[in-house]
Amino acid sequence: MRRALLPVLLSSLTLTAAASPAPQMNDASAASSRPISTGVTSPHLVSTAHFSIPAGAMPTTIGSSTRVVLKVNLDETGTPTNVQILHPAATTEIDQRVVSAVRQFRWTPAILNNKAVPEELTLTVEVQR
């Protein structure tokens, strides 16, 4: 049994050595490599809009609140260009009012390589009584 085990152990060392990476070749493109990014800055909310929900549209439980989860596409200026509901609230009236308000929100733009870029984000809005 010991004789059979020794070749098995030694063969695993051989396989490990065979799997080691090949030496790096001198490539002309490696000398002219560039950084992938000079940095990324996420958008920050700078302006919101007030909105109201009629009492009849809210859930009737004590201390009730409801959430709407949205996908918001921002352009290069931080302005929402597309707002989609991912998880709706208790009523469609709440959803419509939240989406309408979020379209008026403004963000600082997302920055990539010192340039403003469009960004997609997920936003959760909690509506409280």
pLDDT surpassing 80 at residue 23: no
Q: Which of 120, 44, 123 is nearest to 87 (CA)?
A: 123
Write down the mean pLDDT value for the chain: 79
User: What pLDDT digit, counting tens, does each position of 49-83 carry?
Assistant: 998 888 777 777 656 788 999 999 999 999 999 99
Contact 94, 63 (CB under 8 A): no
Q: Which of 40, 24, 123 is nearest to 82 (CA)?
A: 123
Instruction: Enumerate the H helices of the chain as residue ranges.
Output: 2-18, 28-31, 92-102
pLDDT surpassing 70 at residue 24: no
Task: Point out which residues pair with 83 in neighbouring strands.
Answer: 72
Q: What is the pLDDT of residue 69?
A: 97
Domain extent listing, the chain? 65-118
Residue 9, φ and ψ in degrees, nearest 5: -65, -45
Q: pTM of the predicted model, to two decimals?
A: 0.66
